[in-house]
A = this chain, B = another copy of it.
Amino acid sequence: MAVRRQPTLRDVAAAAGVAVSTASRALTRPGRVNADTADRVVAAAKELGYIPSASARALLSGRTATVALVLPDVTNPFFFGLVRGTGARLRESGYVQVLADTEESAEVELDTLRKLRGQVDGAVLAASRLSDEQIAAAAADLALVVVNRTIPGTPGVLLDTAGGMVQALEHLASLGHRRVAYASGPVTSWSDRRRREALEPAAARLGVELVVLGPYAPVRQAGAAAADAALDAGATAVVAFNDLLAFGVLERLDAREVPVPERLSVIGCDDIFGADLVRPALTTVESPVEEAGRMAADLLLARLEGNRPADDDPDAAPAADPDEASDLDRAPDLDDEPVTRGRDAADPVLLPTHLVVRSSTGPVG
């Protein structure tokens, strides 16, 4: 615990009998220094247990090798995949991941971004509660990649859950459902709006009556109200904004002894941990969240590595394997997904989702 004083480069240089600058070079560009001088320095460094000071390096270079993941709520299982996905990629590239929880508050989010500036090289901003303008402004000060938002000029990754929801509706239509409820999410949710916009024409096309219920908080506890409302609306199936809400619906239906799927089919969204554990197992829209995280990290790293000297700290995590390199190359390649060609240049990456059918959906009874 006592935390003894760290040896500095100066100590290493002294021990090796060279100037600090030589020691620095020996450690960072072994090529540009006499081989045995370099050896001496490296030996001295190892001997002393020298670790370069990240702060000093950051101060000088302006780079921190740190990236933040900014989330409205670390609690929400939906974001776990994002934590994992971004974390994996960042670690691979020798970056440190910092986690920031904005507690569902735009104000906290703004403040967080403000403080992050200078502390991190960039941030992945997921499910932001900010306005497009606020995000665009923040992006001027900090390299940003957004997840599940479209901000002109800011790279982003989109999970096309709207598409998955349409698949859900088609699935229900094919089972004979003609009156389907959508238990909508928070009014502030950009995804929710997109889904409703996609569901309505799809319903018309499929000859299904769509009843929009809610809005509901995207949490289990809200599911009871949604279940009751769906039954009251005479729907034979309900599609929930997310799995948490769907879990709550299932619980309520169980409590009311309404048979699922015989009397009411239930569909969720996200395929979070537990969706296949509940009984009946939940039919849901699976989103490649972890991949979205990886892609977001890739996009960010591409930006960051773009304006940067070539070589690496010898101390940095091993670079990605050569055979993974091709994978990384995919990141900046935004053109092979010509979808939602929006108002602006760099279109976000759109990741398709797909319906996973389990036992909570069945033919209309």
A residues contacting B by CB (< 8 A) are: 1-4, 6, 51-56, 58-59, 64, 66, 74-75, 77, 80, 83-84, 87-88, 91, 96-101, 114-115, 117-119, 139-144, 153-154, 247, 251, 273-274, 277-279, 303, 315
Contact = CB atoms under 8 A, between A and B. Distances in A.
Nearest to A80: B80
B87 A96 contact: no
Contacts of A115: 51, 315
A87 B64 contact: no
B96 A91 contact: no
Contacts of A58: 55
Contact of A119 (B1, B96, B117): B96
A227 to B, nearest CB: 15
Contacts of A154: 1
B74 A247 contact: no
A192 B311 CA distance: 45
Contacts of A55: 55-56, 58-59, 64, 118-119
A73 to B, nearest CB: 10
Contacts of A315: 115
Contact of A153 (B1, B51, B59, B117): B1
A286 B87 CA distance: 28
Nearest to A83: B74
A277 B66 CA distance: 37
Contacts of A100: 96-97
Contacts of A84: 74-75
Contacts of A118: 6, 51-55
A1 B139 contact: yes
Given A4-B140, A83-B99, A274-B278, 5 more contacts: A6-B117, A54-B118, A74-B83, A75-B84, A77-B80
B96 A141 contact: no
A253 B142 CA distance: 52
A154 B1 CA distance: 7
Contact of A141 (B3, B54, B98): B3
Contacts of A247: 277
A303 B1 CA distance: 9
Nearest to A144: B1
A220 to B, nearest CB: 9
The CB with the most chain B CB atoms within 10 A, among A56, A59, A114, is that of: A59
A297 to B, nearest CB: 13
Contact of A98 (B51, B66, B140): B66
A84 B3 CA distance: 27
